[in-house]
Amino acid sequence: MHILYEVCPYFKFGYMSANGAIAEAVKGENRVHIVDFQIAMGTQWVTLIQALAARPGGPPHVRVTGIDDPVSAYARGGGLHIVGRRLTRLAELCNVPFEFHVAALNGSEVEVEHLGIRPGEALAVNFAYQLHHLPDESVSTRNHRDRVLRMVKGLSPKVVTLTLTHYTAVFESIDVRLPRESKERISVEQHCLARDIVNIIACEGAERVERHELHGKWRSRFTMAGFTPYPLSPLVNATIKSLLENYCEHYRLEERDGALYLGWKNRALVVSSAWR
């Protein structure tokens, strides 16, 4: 995953755009609570903690609730305490008051009581590359995708960030940096991509956890749950454009209908949007 993070801009794009929206939404707040529905190694929050540390007037008190699943725990080599220790050390170095809350369960199992909501905190909810894992109406009459969105809306968050991707041109973009016969490339395909693709092709019903939808469908789901779009900052867009200068010229960036699209040649691969 670290190799994929370095050779392609997908994760950096999602993290940077989401963090920019969150930083803008909690500007001036003294206490911030971030709920991350797939925290993995917690890499996304490193730059946000650093940015909040440099905020004029001093940093806010930051609390992160990390939601996990068994696959992430296996890939990480342990429980969420590993992420908590890492982010706590970083926050101490940056002089940011910090708490880490563990919610070790699948996203579809999350209820309000798992989130430790406290009055007086500005709430930001992050769905980076995760929401498509929730079962939809084709799997369960409870429809966890819409249930979770309605639950989150009921918490009155300052901002909700959504990052989506698909695999159609991912392999072609990887070709530029990693030859197909390289050991690193084989490892990336095996551990980061193959499991998801096999799940899409070979599994049905509740066993299929990869259920991608176009951004237009997610836009409808968010709207039905009561959210309205939260425009991304022009500063974030400019920062991401600078990031892409370090990668192949075939990457494209486009802002459309309040969302930011990262494309490979003429095909959109990743879309990032914010809601409130």
d(CA 230, CA 273): 8
| Structure confidence by residue, pLDDT tens digits, 155-165 | 999 999 988 76
Mind listing the pLDDT tens digit for each residue in 194-243?
666 655 555 666 665 555 677 888 899 999 999 999 988 888 888 999 99
Contacts of 54 (CB under 8 A, 6+ apart): none
Torsions phi, psi for 177 (to 5 deg): -105, -25
Strand order in the sheet with 267-275: 98-104, 61-68, 31-36, 122-128, 159-165, 267-275, 259-264, 251-256
Give 76's DSSP letter.
H
13-17, 111-115, 242-246, 264-268: least confidently modelled range:
264-268
Question: Which residues does 190 contact at the CB level (< 8 Å), separation at least 6?
Answer: none
Residues 62 and 94: their CA atoms lie apart, in Å, by 12
| Residue-level length of the chain | 276
The string of pLDDT tens digits covering residues 40-96 is 889 999 999 999 999 999 999 999 999 987 667 666 677 888 999 999 999 999 999
Q: Would you say the C-alpha torsion 261, 248, 7, 90 has a positive or negative sign? A: negative
CA diameter of the chain = 54
- Its pTM stands at 0.82
Q: What pLDDT is stored for residue 6 in this prediction? A: 84
Mean pLDDT in residue range 11-34:
94
The predicted structure's pLDDT at residue 75: 64
Q: What is the pLDDT of residue 34?
A: 98
Which domains, from first to last, does the chain contain? 2-275 (3.40.50.150)
Q: Which helix (H) or strand (E) holds 253?
A: strand 251-256
Distance, in Å, from the CA atom of 157 to the CA atom of 155, rounded to the nearest integer, reads 6
| Predicted local confidence at residue 236, as pLDDT | 86
Q: How confident is the model at residue 11 (pLDDT cuts 50, 70, 90)?
A: confident
Q: What is the mean pLDDT of the chain?
A: 86
